Amino acid sequence: MKVTSLAVLATAQLAAAHFGLEYPEWRFDTLSGDERYSQWEYPCAGVPAGTGNRTEWPLTGGSIKLELHHAWSYVFVNLGLGENATVFNYTLTPSLYNTTGNGTYCLPQLPLPTNLKVNDGDLASLQVITADYKGTSLYNCADIVFRSSAKALSGDDCKSNNVTGGFVAAATQGSDDDSKNDTTSGGNNQGSGAAHIGGANTMVLSSVVGLALAFVYGLGL
């Protein structure tokens, strides 16, 4: 009985937490309920490269448009080079990116990292990850081709609705005690940082529930 209700809860929570990648066009509509694919699956929800269309993206970086279903999410955007990227070793979100709200989020231009130089015709894939504060993550990928003629989305094509976002200021990321550099505390800084966000008790409880849900879901479905 307990397991059944947990499983139902887990499924409801999954539907609410999944996200859509509207631009660049994702490899596959992983919200469609197609059982071959799951947004839980690293690195690209189980969707192979080349399943969808390849979008032309500007050489200096382009737009990202997401459909977010959670009250808030951390968003990570990574890039892998080649026709069939399996290593997403360039990040377009070099610090924590937080979005608040439930709806459409469009970022007009996400610049490429300075150590990445691309040429017209280069193939790549973008990996978009959304996560909550427990690190529970969902994945979608989009295949792109860099084009000098491509333009970032603008105006009506890149409107956000009910979602705001931005990089979390460095000052709020770490411990609130700057003198406590992590040499003696044995890696506890991360834990205390997370506790400040959610409150220690909430965090522990949610983690236990999250683990239970993940376990039930992994076993049951």
Q: Calculate the CA 164 to chain-centre distance.
A: 15
Q: How many residues does the chain have?
A: 221
Residue 53 or 148 having the CB closest to ligand NAG: 53
Report which of 79, 147, 150, 76 is spatially closest to residue 112, judged by C-alpha positions. Answer: 79
Residue 3 or 12 having the CB closest to ligand NAG: 12
Q: Is the peptide bond before 24 cis (omega within 30 degrees of 0)?
A: yes
What is the closest distance, in whole angstroms, from the C-beta atom of residue 123 to ligand NAG in the complex? 12
Binder of ligand NAG out of 6, 7, 81, 214 (CB under 6 A) = 81
> Binders of ligand NAG: how many residues, by CB under 6 A?
27
Binder of ligand NAG out of 4, 172, 188, 202 (CB under 6 A) = 172
Max CA separation in the chain (angstroms): 59
Binder of ligand NAG out of 181, 185, 188, 202 (CB under 6 A) = 181
Assess 50 for contact with ligand NAG (CB under 6 A): yes
Assess 197 for contact with ligand NAG (CB under 6 A): yes
- Using CA atoms, how far residue 118 sits from 64, 82, 121, 123, in Å, is 18, 11, 9, 9
Quote the CA–CA distance of 10 and 36 in Å, as a whole number. 19
- Of 30-38, 54-62, 80-88, 151-159: span binding ligand NAG (CB under 6 A): 80-88
| DSSP annotation string for 78-140 | EEEESTT-----EES--S-EEEESSEEEEES--PPPTT----TT-EEEEEEEEE-TT--EEEE
- Of 118-126, 145-153, 177-185, 206-214: span binding ligand NAG (CB under 6 A): 177-185
Assess 200 for contact with ligand NAG (CB under 6 A): no
Binder of ligand NAG out of 84, 148, 190, 202 (CB under 6 A) = 84
Q: What residues make contact with ligand NAG under the rule CB under 6 A?
A: 16, 25, 49-50, 52-53, 69-72, 81, 84, 86-87, 89, 98, 100-103, 162, 168, 172, 178-179, 181, 197
